[in-house]
């Protein structure tokens, strides 16, 4: 098929591109192009293959009128404007599992280098010194490894650590503890992992919610002499807080393959510390992994052009154009209800129920269900999207049931979308509906409280006794902490019972604000909700 032209913009394995060449596509590979030069090449391209070097921006996509698919030979799509690609109908594919083993192995390599002070010993010996007594390390056997994020990479790291006779304790709010009892992995809260671990390694996706998941607070809760490893994403660990903790002697050392800014500046404070082992983002840099991810994305792109099959996509719901037009507003509402539900939970999800009524019940609701699950599970794995959300839920042992409630002819459903998420200790229900000609989505009920709120931006969710003075005092506390209220929504079941408030704020309330709110006797709970885009 010589009419299909694919441009390879980064240094992708030549053998990995074999499936595209064998299909008869016209392949052109030139690396290092930027700006107008790259834009000019893409004007005639149907497909684009990249790694992490080339940035695919909205402006670049604007000039690539023929482009139909972007293949990322790797996991992350941080360098691709996925929203802009989706808007232009460009499929974005990646190879989410291709780097699992190599990244896990690199984590173990840094763990051992850190424990046995290998880089320091090598530098000393190459400088002509023989300092055996200076570089005394620690054994892994009998030590506790804390894992933050127990997806595919985290589980491989756990299995290898158990082979070193380490104890493994992990935090992942999307994994039910009973699923791992036979694997020798103990599930715990993040605070417990920090308090118990001798080594802490992070394997979570980088999202607004996970950014800085290991910050000053978490580092202060770790035992003295802990060592920290990050081979996942820069930004998961607060680098300034880590530097301070090492300088103060609370953290014995760190091993970092990733940084918030890559490459890090030459005067980065962590680079000056002998206790810090660093590598230049080598987690996926093995011959096997580079060829593997290239083959995966090449096969996916080949099948897309030959048969229209979509695999490994991060941005395409399987829905026709006509259905998409009708379901579009519900897809957005469902995703936000999922994100809202996720922030109500403190325990792993065991089951999800969705009930559709009215207009949405007349269509195939599967895309809406996937959108809800993608929102609910987005923080547990970098590979969750509307295409694979059902599969991820199945992998995590989350039961998903769907019901359709058809309204009488001419009647409108008050809540076309009702969601129920159950954990080991209880459940939460959140319902939503569309309003106005534009189909603006709103939350209409939370745990039985009738509330109408726009699921967007920063919110504070409180439950309190329905007594005089609560609203005023809550407003005063927020004002004292510099938190401006944009909207206030109140609901209650009966007079004098319990009330719920959804307070939209210009900025998220910090921990001290929440602590003061919770200390106010009538307030039963106060929870931050962030639905920032």
In sign, the C-alpha dihedral spanning 284, 289, 291, 292 is negative
Whole-number Å distance between alpha carbons of 491 and 342: 21
Cβ of 516: how many Cβ atoms within 10 Å? 17
Q: 51 φ, ψ to 5°?
A: -110, -125
Burial class (CB in 10 A: 0-12, 13-18, 19+), 475: middle
Crossing angle (nearest 10°) for helices 118-126 and 100-116: 60
Whole-number Å distance between alpha carbons of 529 and 507: 11
Whole-number Å distance between alpha carbons of 114 and 208: 29
Beta strands 523-531; 457-465: pairing state: antiparallel
Report which of 36, 39, 16 is spatially closest to residue 7, judged by C-alpha positions.
Answer: 39
**How close are the terminal C-alpha atoms of the chain, in Å?**
40
Whole-number Å distance between alpha carbons of 358 and 417: 9
Sheet holding 5-8, edge to edge: 26-29, 5-8, 47-50, 69-72, 91-94
Beta strands 144-148; 69-72: pairing state: unpaired
Report which of 338, 491, 324 is spatially closest to residue 417, judged by C-alpha positions.
Answer: 338
Whole-number Å distance between alpha carbons of 235 and 260: 5
Residue 339, classed as helix, strand or coil, is helix
Q: What own/partner pairs with CB < 8 Å and gap ≥ 24 does 468-477 have?
A: 469/522, 470/499, 470/520, 470/522, 470/523, 471/501, 473/520, 473/522, 474/501, 474/503, 474/517, 474/520, 474/523, 477/513, 477/516, 477/517, 477/520
- Catalytic residue numbers read 233, 262, 281
Q: How many H helices and E strands in the chain?
A: 16, 22
The CB-side HSE value for 73 (13 A sphere, CA atoms) comes to 28
């Amino acid at each position: 098929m010589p009419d299909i032209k694919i441009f390879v913009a980064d240094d992708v394995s030549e053998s990995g591109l074999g499936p595209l060449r064998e299909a008869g596509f016209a392949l052109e590979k030139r690396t290092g192009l930027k700006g107008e030069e790259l834009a000019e090449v893409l004007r005639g391209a149907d497909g684009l293959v990249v790694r992490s070097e080339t940035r695919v921006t909205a402006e670049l996509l604007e000039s690539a009128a023929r482009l139909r698919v972007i293949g990322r030979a790797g996991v992350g799509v941080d360098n691709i404007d996925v929203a802009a690609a989706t808007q232009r109908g460009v499929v974005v594919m990646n190879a989410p599992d291709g780097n699992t083993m190599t990244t896990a192995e690199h984590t173990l390599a840094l763990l051992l280098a850190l424990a046995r002070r290998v880089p320091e010993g090598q530098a000393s010996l190459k400088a002509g010194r023989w300092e055996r007594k200076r570089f005394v390390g620690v054994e892994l056997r009998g030590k506790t490894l804390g894992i933050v994020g127990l997806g595919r990479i985290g589980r491989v790291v756990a299995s290898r650590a158990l082979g070193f006779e380490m104890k493994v304790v992990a935090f992942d709010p999307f994994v039910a503890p009973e699923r791992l009892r036979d694997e020798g992995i103990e599930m715990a809260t993040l605070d417990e992992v920090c308090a118990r671990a001798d080594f802490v390694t992070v394997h979570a996706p980088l999202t607004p919610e996970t950014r800085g998941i290991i910050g000053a607070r978490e580092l202060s809760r770790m035992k003295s002499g802990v060592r920290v490893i990050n081979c996942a994403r820069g930004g998961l660990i607060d680098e300034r807080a880590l530097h301070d903790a090492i300088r103060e002697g609370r953290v014995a050392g760190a091993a970092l393959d990733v940084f918030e800014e890559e490459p890090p500046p030459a005067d980065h404070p962590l680079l000056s510390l002998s206790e810090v082992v660093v590598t230049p983002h080598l987690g996926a840099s093995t011959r096997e992994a580079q060829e593997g991810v290239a083959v995966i994305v090449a096969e996916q792109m080949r099948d897309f052009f030959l048969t229209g099959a979509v695999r490994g996509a991060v941005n395409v719901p399987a829905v026709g154009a006509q259905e998409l037009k009708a379901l579009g507003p519900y897809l957005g509402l469902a995703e936000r209800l999922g994100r809202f539900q996720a922030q109500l939970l403190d325990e792993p999800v065991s089951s999800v129920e969705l009930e559709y009524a009215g207009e949405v019940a007349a269509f195939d609701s599967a895309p809406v269900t996937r959108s809800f699950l993608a929102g609910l599970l987005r923080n547990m794995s970098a590979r969750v999207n509307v295409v694979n959300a059902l599969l991820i839920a199945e992998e995590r042992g989350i039961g998903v049931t769907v019901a359709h409630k058809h309204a009488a002819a001419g009647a409108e459903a008050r809540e076309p979308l009702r969601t129920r998420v159950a954990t080991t200790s209880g459940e939460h229900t959140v319902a939503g509906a569309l309003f106005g000609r534009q189909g603006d989505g709103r939350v209409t009920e939370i745990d039985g409280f009738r509330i109408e709120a726009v699921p967007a931006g920063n919110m504070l969710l409180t439950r309190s006794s329905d007594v005089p003075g609560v609203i005023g005092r809550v407003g005063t506390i927020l004002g004292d902490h510099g938190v401006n209220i944009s909207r206030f929504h109140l609901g209650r079941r009966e007079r004098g019972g319990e009330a719920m408030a959804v307070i939209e704020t210009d900025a998220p309330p910090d921990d001290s604000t929440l602590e003061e709110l919770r200390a106010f006797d009538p307030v039963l709970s106060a929870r931050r909700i962030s639905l920032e885009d």
